[in-house]
Amino acid sequence: GENVEQHPSTLSVQEGDSAVIKCTYSDSASNYFPWYKQELGKRPQLIIDIRSNVGEKKDQRIAVTLNKTAKHFSLHITETQPEDSAVYFCAARNPADGLTFGKGTHLIIQP
């Protein structure tokens, strides 16, 4: 089955700086890679996703890049704000299965 590794487990950045979270996956059949933001006790919220036929996608301050050859994808958040503080999960999915999540990154935005 799919295995998703996510780093770092904790990331602390100064407000206004950029944050980068990286994930690798193992199953070359996976073709969909979403990123979720989860606040304590709440449901995961989709913030951006990318499919395997695209190398990069951007939505305002958030961008995701995908390297299919290396089987890794990254989340980039620019101009971080206090409300960006949360746990972020990457995930991968091959067409036949549900999502396999990374272990999560606790992002802390320092004022």
SS3 44: coil
Which residues inside 68-107 make contact with other proteins, applying CB under 8 A? Answer: 89, 93, 97-104
Measured CA to CA, the distance from residue 69 to residue 81 in angstroms comes to: 33
Q: In this structure, are residues 86 and 38 in contact, taking their beta carbons and an 8 Å threshold?
A: yes
Write each residue from 14 to 53 as x if it is in contact with other proteins (CB under 8 A), else as -, in one continuous string. ------------------x-x-x----xxxxxx--x-x--
Task: Assess 54 for contact with other proteins (CB under 8 A).
Answer: no
Measured CA to CA, the distance from residue 19 to residue 21 in angstroms comes to: 7
List interacting residues with other proteins (CB under 8 A). Answer: 1, 32, 34, 36, 41-46, 49, 51, 89, 93, 97-104
